[in-house]
Structure formats: structure tokens, C-alpha cells
Amino acid sequence: MPRADHPVTDAGRRSLRPPGGQRTGSDPLGNRVPGGTRWGPGPPDVDARGGDMDQRVSHAAAPVELSMRLLGRISASVNGREIRLTGRHAQALLALLALQPRPRSREAIATDLWPDADGSSSAALRQALWLVRGAISAAGTDPDAVVEADQDSIGLRACLNLDLDAGRFERLVRGQPAEPEAALLLYRGDLAEGLCHECFASDRERLSDAYEDALAMAAQDRLDCGDPAGARTAAEQLLARDGLREEAHETLIRVYGATGSRSQVHRQFRRLREVLEREIGVEPLPETIAAYRTALAETVERSRLSAASAVFATRRGLAAFAGRT
């Protein structure tokens, strides 16, 4: 009878402890299993997650690119193929790993995602991890090449090429020089839209503030480049999100000064004064008041020139009529 710590020879079975000591691996839930080997009958070198070991090593060594879109509705792809994530728990887990890719304890991740779930959070995490791994596998990539998981921690592989839209967006807004127009194209919605997990709240607020800053910069740049319509659009989008953004009010005042009427300039300035007084009890900034006065002067001058042009046209018409009689 063969010894218990050596492989048996029939039917290609392996014992619990192959020669050379204990081997470790993990099952589809990320839990460790002895040796990463298949329990029961099977080829000697088949991993518990499927696939020949030599092929798995070669596959894991190939570059893997994970693309995550977290601004707006979550979407993901690996090596250009869509990862179809089913369920909010799986979406939330992969989003959290993309934002914090270094391995962290399972307990910390479960607490972040489900702080009020008590003991059930561990089970929810195992289920979410199983769904994430299955979705990556269905996209044609070994999940172990993307997710690093053992019985204690979960993270993304350090060698993974991670393309995260939220990171690119923030660099475009905060970079020197900033690129607000390119940033606005990336912002499809607030971070992890549709997910109510509290762990995304601080990042969501920070990126929302960056989006508003991008709108303010874009409005200013468009007006300076002779695009008052584009400046007005950006300023109105900004005020729809935060009515206290004084620079957006100032942009609209300047737009109306360049293209609108005196009443439009006055109404916009009045709205600004009212919202500042009601919300925080302050007056507009001196530069905003100066922009208001300049805009009023521009509308008055434009009205004067328009009236003079109308009078000239009328006189020319009368002269032409008199010449025909």
C-alpha cells in the first residue's frame, strides 16, 4: 500500500501531500486549497481552477490590461473584451479594487462595502469575489492574472496594466496645464453611479468637485476664445450643480454683456446677489461687480450703436425715396 504522503499510482490521482511538501493555491472563491490541485481523479498537473499548469504560467506572464470606467455607470474590459459583471456586489467590489488596487485584508474590504452587515459581510464578499472571477474568466482571461486573492487578503495584481478613467480625468483637471475640455469628455457621470455603497462617497465628492472646476475653466476658456455660446452652456451646467459658484455667474454676466441685453446682465447679477445673501450672507466679489459694470456699459454702447445704425438706415431710405419722386 502506498504511503499517505506520496502520490498513488493508479488513475492519475494525487495524494493530499505530493513529494516536496505542501503546495498552496486557491479555489474560485479565493480560499486556499492544498497545492492548487484537483481533489479526486484528474490529470496530475491540472490546477484546481482549470487548465494545464504550464499553460497557466505562460498565460499569467502575458501582459494583461484591465480597463475600468467608473465615471457614470460602471463598465470594465480585460484585454479588450467586456467583463459582464452581474449584481451590484460584484460591481462594487471590482470598482473598489480599481480605486485601491493594493492587497487589503478581506475584513477591511468587507467592512468598506457592507459596514452594517455584521457577520454576513464575509459571505457577501466571497460571493462577490466568485462573481468577479467568473466574469473575468468568461471574458477569456485567467482571473488569477487580474485578482490576487488568498484567505486573508484581496487586491489587483501589481503587474496589471490598469486604465482607470477616474484617474485620467483627475490628472487632466489638476495637471499643469489643465486640460478641461479633454476632462469633460471623460466625465460621463458621478463616480460609480447607481451604487449606494458609502465607501465611494469621499471619492465621488472629490471627483464631482473636480468636474465643476473643469466646467468653470472650460467656460472661461471658451469665452476668452470667442465662443460665448459654449461658455454659456458650461456656466449653466455648473450652476445647475452648484448655484454658489460665483465664477459661473460672472461668466454669464460677461456673456450677456457681449451678446445679450442690459436686462439679462442685470437679472443675472441680481440672481447672484440673492443666492449669496440667502445662502452665506455675503456680497459678490469686487471683480464680479467690476465685470457687471463693464457688461452693463457694453450693452449700453451696443444699444446706442444699434439705434444710431437704425436712424442712419431710415434716413438713407427716406433719401432714396425722395430721389425717386
* Phi, psi torsion values for 116, nearest 5 degrees: -105, 10
Distance CA 59, CA 130 (A): 20
Q: In the chain, where are the structural domains located?
A: 63-206
pLDDT of amino acid 301: 85
Residue 31 or 265, more confident: 265
Average pLDDT over residues 169-180: 97
DSSP 71: B
Residue 129 binned pLDDT confidence (cut-offs 50, 70, 90) = very high
Average pLDDT over residues 170-183: 97
Q: Does the pLDDT of residue 15 top 60, yes or no? A: no
* Phi, psi torsion values for 196, nearest 5 degrees: -100, 10
Q: Does the pLDDT of residue 204 top 60, yes or no? A: yes
pLDDT of amino acid 18: 37
pLDDT of amino acid 27: 45
Average pLDDT over residues 203-216: 98
The per-residue pLDDT for range 283-297, each reduced to its tens digit, is 999 999 999 999 999
Distance CA 109, CA 47 (A): 27
Percent of the chain with pLDDT over 70: 74
Average pLDDT over residues 21-46: 38
Pick from 20-29, 58-67, 276-285: least confident: 20-29
Looking at the domain 63-206, which fold is it?
Arc Repressor Mutant, subunit A (1.10.10)
Distance CA 103, CA 108 (A): 10
pLDDT of amino acid 60: 46
Q: Does the pLDDT of residue 138 top 50, yes or no? A: yes
